[in-house]
Structure 1
Amino acid sequence: MDALVDEWALVGIDATTRAVIADRSGGNPFYVRELVRLIASGQDVAAVPGGVRDVVRQRLAVLPAETVTLLRVAAVGGREIDTDVLLTAAAAGGTAPDLDDGAVDALELALVSGLLVEPAPGRVGFGHALVRDTLYDDLSSVRRARWHGRIASALEVLRPDDVTALAHHHESAGPSHAAATARYAAAAADLAEHRWAYTDAADWWARAESARRTAGPDDVAGVLRLRARQIRAAQLAGDVARSRSLREDILPVAAATGDHELTAEIILAADVPTIWSPRSVHPQDHYLLGLTRATADRLAGRPDLRARLLAVVATELEGDPDDAGYRAGLEALEVARAHGDPTVLAHALYGRYLHTYRDLVDGIEERRAVGAELLDLARRHGLGQFEAAAQLILLQACCARADWAAADVHAADAVTLAERYGLPLLAGIGLWYRGLRLALAGRWAEAEAAYDTASAAVSTTGFYRQSAELTWWVSVFCLRLSAGRYAELLDMTRSVLDATSPDLSAETVELLAVALLVDGRPEEARELLDRSGPPPRP
């Protein structure tokens, strides 16, 4: 197929677009040519070329009306559809005893025509996505919604466990199906989470929440609980920015209910270990902190919730110059140990870990101890996300002691666990270590490539892009400085120098000053350091 694309292409076509062309054309030379021409005209490859649309319509024009109708119902069903579901949906509403036979005859003719194929026993589909898209696009929105509803009804009888398809078709059937959409979208989200597909789960939770708002606008608690599930799925997917935004948006609504346990549920929805603190680029959220403290005080009789809420305070105050976060972490750990629940204790240990950097010397051993306890706890109780986080904590402790053999093991285990449990942010953080190891070996070019790979992996999760970019910048800056590539340092700092100093960490400001110094600009380096103020105390 690449040869056909190259023969007809008037502009460069990348590998991703070529894959889309292959999928949508099914390798048909005419469809390939028309898609290539479509791209050359500046249109989206997802559109249907006019020439293809005309040819499909001409083929439909010679078919009986019953066959065309069945093809259109099939198009509403998607690229592929269960044969029994299609026949039931196509026959829905009929009363004549021979209607099913008529639908079967129409299906057979659609297969003979080549517009439908049988990819597997009991399933039919479109050999070319462009045929399906033409049929679907030619339907009015009213008819689409009606047939989505018919397919949903057929699925409920014939395939009641296919919750993802049921959610899709009920949602596409319109507002009158909102209650069913909410129910099945939540089931689809649960299914995605069991498969560790957290990005998909977050999307389904959002759709369930939207449908619940339509079906039951007065069900505030129900909407809030669906939002909590969406927040957590987004956080597990590594999309920290989205998770925090979703929580920030709904917290006042939760607080206004006066239900402290429900408020705690919303606050705690985002308490997933991320190793990298969101505070690295996110300003301190005074409303969140105040509400979390107040809720923890009001739930003194719920030590499980109180410990986790205190751990959230510790997490939010990580790196703060005063000791409020440190004290909250200690109290969270004390309450969690007394309560005895392993998951609660895991959250408290993670909150404690974030404050082991207060003491640059003694903190190393404390970090190792916290990581070891968390790893043992996670293994004994099947807490996959905490097991991956514990490996990264131990990796950091080993790096601080220059114990590279042990660090290698923890890094490999962390990435394996993160990939197993669908935690892309933790996997990306684990990949950063490879760049460090290559740098220590003096393999500068390979180290920089490894940092590029790790940065791309973290950025794709939805983690704060600025944080990922700054971490990459610091990594590569130190790499080039160690390699003596001084001429490149200032070039790579220009975009960072444009940022306002208060938004940069003290470490980043110091590196910027180094770049100015090696470029022979000591006065500018001194001015930058003066403007940024004194470094925070450990």
Structure 2
Amino acid sequence: LARQAPLRLALPGLGGDAVARLVADVADAPVDTATVAALTERTGGNPFYVRESARLLAGEGALVALSDVPEGVRDVLRRRFARLPESAVAVLRLAAVAGREADVDVLVAAADTDEDGVLDALDAGLIAGLLTEPALGRVRFVHALVRDTMCADLSRLRSTRMHARIAAALERLGTGDVTALAYHHSRAVSTATAARALELCLRAAELADRGNGHDAAVDLRARALECFDRLPADHPGDRAAERVDLLGALLRAQVRAGSIVPARATRQRAVDIATAERRDDLLIAAFTAWTEPSPWQTRPYASVDEPLVAALDRLLELPDLPPLHRCRLLDAYAVELSGESAGENADASGRRDPRAAAREAITIARRIGDPNLLGMTLSTLLQQLPTPLDAPERVVLAQELIDVGDAHEMPAYRWYGRFNLAASAADLGDAEQTLRLVLESREVARAYLMPEATSVVEYTLAMFANLEGRPEEAERRYAEALAPMIARGSPHAAGFGWIATATIRVEQGRAAELAPQVPHILAGYGPFVADLLAVVLAADGRIDEARRMRALAVPIRVDFFFTVLSTYRAMAVVALDEHDVAAALYTDLLPFRDAPPTCAGLSLALRPIAHTLGELADYLGRPDEAAAHFAHAAETARRWGAAPWRRMTRPAPAIDAGT
């Protein structure tokens, strides 16, 4: 071949689009853009690495595919390592522990060989195609998979010692890289070094917070707690109070990262410490540590943590509470009971009204004059006003929240105010203003790397795709928006995803396709979805089962799901000929006649409530009222560009209930 003067071509890795096609082909399913981007970076676009990673993705999911090395790739890389001298592999393992990219001076200072030995090893890695030189005096592994394979073959004991050597080298070289120091010190922590490691983790976490590095901040604050636990027994200070304080900082980082379920677990750890110590000061600190708003409820739908609420209620009865503590406790109480306001959703428990608690918290916040406190309390009251009938008050509160966020450069309130103003504009029938504000809120979420807010906005844009008659695009966008929420442990994402799919299927006349999922959905989400499941069963011709399912239904809560669940109840009772229920529901829905086809906090698109009223009126034998409702529904759909419902001027084809 050499005599034929062959042309040697250096082939680049596959680009993102090619990786997406290959992964989708191997995994036999579309993959969200974030996962494709991560796999492209992780594999360098190497087709073999991509294919093996895609197989791992198909079998184990994104979390494993983005953290583990596929066995086939690992075997290939180990054979490449075996061709290198053992001394070179030892230095390359040190470089792998240092990170994806490493400073050569640090490696020389940390290695257990001389400078020539280090340079020889790095040269060997470069020649073997394992390393590149991104800048003078730095080396970088060509793929994350190479580095991960190097690290995977190290015992924990050896990697810990390597981290300690790298940390010592960084200290000797006088580097100002706090993040690198924290990374290595925290992974080599001992009783002797715990105080230094703790200090570095907290400093690095503050830097991550300032740079909107939310996931990094969570990791650093979690490691700070591990370092705290390694402090010597005679370390001075109030250990319980310090631990609760560290847990509070971790909680706030988790909320900013969109990890709501872990944040609740962190708060519960702080509550448990306070309870074990029998100290109300620590309990107050645990409950008042949550100072970041969340777009959705922070607990599973229609559930209440009764012990938590009881503890908050008891603390609120303490005499001489400082105003700041009372304000934050009221806010925490209102958040825990969001959707449980006195009136329609209240029970006989005798609890104080969470809406009243939220209003009192705002009053105190105004008196204190702290803009962050005011922003938090405004956000909480907005959660207490979820229905279209609450829109006028929400407009005032959301605009004030925007003003507070803009004036004081607080991204969470800038986003939350705009998104709530968008939802209010929708409830007031202004489609153009709604979309404009949604897009504004997306810009804020993206600019400040707000993961949960970004997912919520993308979910809304999926809703718009369905609203405008693009159901396939809507399903794809819903899946892409929900994937990172599920990965972060959202308590709502999976349920919302199923309801979004069901909403699309019902409006397509394909509800029966969901029938095989009914037992699983009922077991997972309980009787509040019984009406929707009854619609599915009736569409599948299983009328007796549909009636039994309807018997499980509970009163519909007057919250952000009210119009959604009422629509499905109306469909079910008309199909199953429940005249009395239909008559009562018709009365309940009349105040919502002007509601838009957007609902559930801009997350779902559904036939206008006026159309549902038309179907109920037609079933109840009120043809004139039905005609007026259908005409109003058609006009509402036209105003919103809602293609699926613009010509629905009569009842949908009835489901044969066998009556």
**Fold equivalence (TM over 0.5):** yes
- What whole-Å deviation, never above 9, does each CA across 1:411-457 have from its counterpart, x for those lacking one? 11122212222222122112222233233323333333333333334
Q: Give 1:391's aligned residue.
A: 418
Query: Residues 46 and 402 (structure 1 numbering): CA distance in 2 closer, same or farther, change over 3 Å?
Result: farther
> d(CA) in 2 for partners of 1:22 and 1:339?
48
Cα displacement (A) at 1:109: 3.0
Aligned to 2:163, what secondary structure does the other structure show? helix
> d(CA) in 2 for partners of 1:131 and 1:203?
23
> What pairs up with 1:268-307 in 2 under 5 angstroms?
268-281=288-301, 283-298=303-318, 300-307=320-327
- What whole-Å deviation, never above 9, does each CA across 1:288-331 have from its counterpart, x for those lacking one? 22222333444744212211210111111112222621221121
Which of 377, 380, 399 is 2:404 aligned to? 377
> Are 1:20 and 1:45, in contact at CA under 8 Å, matched by a contact in 2?
no
Which of 158, 161, 168 is 1:153 aligned to? 168
> Are 1:392 and 1:410, in contact at CA under 8 Å, matched by a contact in 2?
yes
Cα displacement (A) at 1:127: 5.5
Q: Which amino acid aligns with 2:70?
A: V
Q: Give 2:250's aligned residue.
A: 230
Say whether 1:189 aligns with 2:216: no
> d(CA) in 2 for partners of 1:375 and 1:34?
47
- What whole-Å deviation, never above 9, does each CA across 1:198-228 have from its counterpart, x for those lacking one? 1221122111101101115572222221111
> d(CA) in 2 for partners of 1:472 and 1:140?
41
Say whether 1:459 aligns with 2:486: yes
Aligned to 2:134, what secondary structure does the other structure show? strand
> d(CA) in 1 for partners of 2:41 and 2:397?
51
Say whether 1:106 aligns with 2:117: yes
> d(CA) in 1 for partners of 2:300 and 2:153?
50
Structure 1 gap ranges (5+): 92-101
> What pairs up with 1:495-510 in 2 under 5 angstroms?
495-499=520-524, 503-505=526-528, 508-510=529-531
> Are 1:300 and 1:306, in contact at CA under 8 Å, matched by a contact in 2?
no
Q: Give 2:354's aligned residue.
A: 325
> d(CA) in 2 for partners of 1:387 and 1:280?
26
> d(CA) in 1 for partners of 2:450 and 2:543?
44
Query: Residues 273 and 215 (structure 1 numbering): CA distance in 2 closer, same or farther, change over 3 Å?
Result: same
Q: Give 1:56's aligned residue.
A: 81
- What whole-Å deviation, never above 9, does each CA across 1:176-196 have from its counterpart, x for those lacking one? 433332222222222222221
Aligned to 2:304, what secondary structure does the other structure show? coil
Residue identity (%): 30
> Are 2:170 and 2:181, in contact at CA under 8 Å, matched by a contact in 1?
yes
My pick for the range that moved more, 180-189 or 221-230, is 180-189
Q: Give 2:101's aligned residue.
A: 80
Structure 2 gap ranges (5+): 1-10, 60-67, 347-351, 560-659
> Are 1:202 and 1:234, in contact at CA under 8 Å, matched by a contact in 2?
yes
> Are 1:74 and 1:86, in contact at CA under 8 Å, matched by a contact in 2?
yes
> d(CA) in 1 for partners of 2:473 and 2:43?
38
> d(CA) in 1 for partners of 2:50 and 2:472?
41
Q: Give 1:119's aligned residue.
A: 134
> Are 1:429 and 1:458, in contact at CA under 8 Å, matched by a contact in 2?
no
Cα displacement (A) at 1:380: 1.2
My pick for the range that moved more, 519-528 or 363-372, is 519-528
Query: Residues 106 and 396 (structure 1 numbering): CA distance in 2 closer, same or farther, change over 3 Å?
Result: same
> What pairs up with 1:363-512 in 2 under 5 angstroms?
363-464=390-491, 467-491=492-516, 493=518, 495-499=520-524, 503-505=526-528, 508-512=529-533
Say whether 1:340 aligns with 2:369: yes
Q: Which amino acid aligns with 1:436?
A: M
> Are 2:455 and 2:484, in contact at CA under 8 Å, matched by a contact in 1?
yes
> Are 1:311 and 1:348, in contact at CA under 8 Å, matched by a contact in 2?
yes
> d(CA) in 2 for partners of 1:354 and 1:127?
48
Which of 193, 198, 204 is 2:220 aligned to? 204
Aligned to 1:308, what secondary structure does the other structure show? helix
Q: Pairwise CA RMSD of aligned residues?
A: 3.8
Q: Give 1:165's aligned residue.
A: 180
Query: Residues 304 and 139 (structure 1 numbering): CA distance in 2 closer, same or farther, change over 3 Å?
Result: closer
Query: Residues 519 and 87 (structure 1 numbering): CA distance in 2 closer, same or farther, change over 3 Å?
Result: closer
Query: Residues 286 and 57 (structure 1 numbering): CA distance in 2 closer, same or farther, change over 3 Å?
Result: same
Say whether 1:528 aligns with 2:549: yes
> d(CA) in 1 for partners of 2:320 and 2:556?
37
Cα displacement (A) at 1:155: 0.9
Cα displacement (A) at 1:55: 5.3
> d(CA) in 1 for partners of 2:83 and 2:195?
40
More helix as a share of residues = 1
> d(CA) in 2 for partners of 1:428 and 1:51?
38
> Are 1:35 and 1:49, in contact at CA under 8 Å, matched by a contact in 2?
no
> Are 1:232 and 1:243, in contact at CA under 8 Å, matched by a contact in 2?
yes
Cα displacement (A) at 1:33: 13
